[in-house]
Amino acid sequence: MAQVLEFRLPDLGEGLTEAEIVRWLVEVGDVVAVDQPVVEVETAKAMVDVPCPYAGVVTARFGEEGSELPVGAPLITVAVGAAAPGGSTADSDGSAGGSGNVLVGYGTSEAPARRRRVRPAPAVPAAANGRSIAAEPSEELDDGPRAQTVGRDASGAIAAVRAGAPEAVVDGPVPVISPLVRRLARENGLDLKELTGSGPDGLILRADVEYALRAAAVQTRTAPVPAATPATAPATTPGGTRVPLKGVRGAVADKLSRSRTEIPDATCWVDADATELMRARAAMNATGAPKISLLALLARICTAALARFPELNSTVDMAAREIVRLDAVHLGFAAQTERGLVVPVVKDAHARDAEALSAEFARLTEAARTGTLTPAELTGGTFTLNNYGVFGVDGSTPIINHPEAAMLGVGRIIPKPWVHEGELAVRQVVQLSLTFDHRVCDGGTAGGFLRYVADCVEQPAVLLRTL
């Protein structure tokens, strides 16, 4: 006998609480194997294929493409042990199967032990939507905290009351966990206290709300049409369009707002003659070895400067009222993509030479462009390098990437009049800016860091002292 198991959106790590459905990889009725990807989701950090820990037949999908789901919300239901379209069984031994993937709440090597118990189903009068449940004993399988049995065969409907009876209305707290369910009900004017949930312990699921809304729509279509009354237009922004702050854009908004709220930042800047740095790079790339990027040279300068001024490679723990100076330099760099601004992180940048930095920058930039960066590649930075010169601008006062303590900004390198060796000449000039957390250091330290960076840009041989 088949069991219909519910697979919920797992915790994808790095403190993520929700994800947007980008593309479904399976249809209702498809046979899936253990660890087969069933949906592609976009978190605030990366695109992720979510594998299913069960083998069986897909009986339902929750959420349309483009919708957001919180962690723990139902994704799909899978009939384990159901007959496949070709006549075979999706899981011949009737077990739920095990997953080798490490997903929070899933990832077991085999199905957990199940206890079978029989309990009588309470007599339930006909619900407001016209459905009822017979008062007969029902069997329930206890599959652990995540694998809830929501039905007993592949073709049967979910045996639950979608819209509760009037006596179910109580004054206590509504059994809802998902903020998405609350929002869906609120936006459609649905009182959750009038519903009886089909989840564990009466938990109201999104499917319960959607069923109640569909039932209400049917009643509306079959009800007599009243006399026409002037319709009230929904509130809109005059001459504008509302764009939801979600996904990458929402994550950027939250992080920048937090930075501005918590970090007392200050900015200093200086112009530098980058002519010699550009010549040094040209000489390196003329040897036939792998090309060295300008960003890699600037990163190498940053790591050398941070070794001299470690105060800027730190974070602030206000709960403990401590400044935490970090040993390793994990260098983030701003990258603009079609999905928005992302900041990939080069781990252990202080231990890499210019060639290794060039290769890693190229790899992470391509991954950012294709949307395949992992959450681990987008977190853990200790200092950020922002090359906004690629946008054709000279200067900026960037916002610090919380919880870091500083960010170096680099403008475009262009020919400008410059006094060189006592004479006016045309040189390649760049503007450098440093935004720093004033809690970790004073202006003297920040100015010393920026001056050292400018000296290395103007005279790359300065770096030879620390190589």
Catalytic residues: 438
How many other β-carbons are positioned within 10 Å of the β-carbon of residue 439? 14
- For residue 139, give both structure tokens: 């069997």
3-state secondary structure of 207: helix
Pick from 20, 114, 46, 22: which is nearest to 372 by CA?
46
Helix (H) or strand (E) segment spanning residue 219: helix 206-222
- Specify the DSSP class assigned to residue 293: P
CA pseudo-torsion sign 384, 390, 393, 394: positive
Whether residue 152 contacts residue 112, with contact meaning beta carbons closer than 8 Å, is answered with: no
Rounded CA separation 282/261 (Å): 43
Residues 6+ apart with CB under 8 A from 146: 8, 105, 106
The dihedral over CA atoms of 11, 15, 18, 19, expressed in degrees to the nearest 10, equals -80
Rounded CA separation 332/248 (Å): 16
- For residue 44, give both structure tokens: 């605030």
Cis peptide before 403 (omega within 30 of 0): yes
E-strand stretches of 35-82: 36-42, 47-52, 56-61, 68-70, 74-80
Rg (alpha carbons) of the chain, rounded to whole number: 29
Rounded CA separation 162/127 (Å): 8
Whether residue 381 contacts residue 406, with contact meaning beta carbons closer than 8 Å, is answered with: no
CA 249 to chain centre: 10
How many other β-carbons are positioned within 10 Å of the β-carbon of residue 232? 6
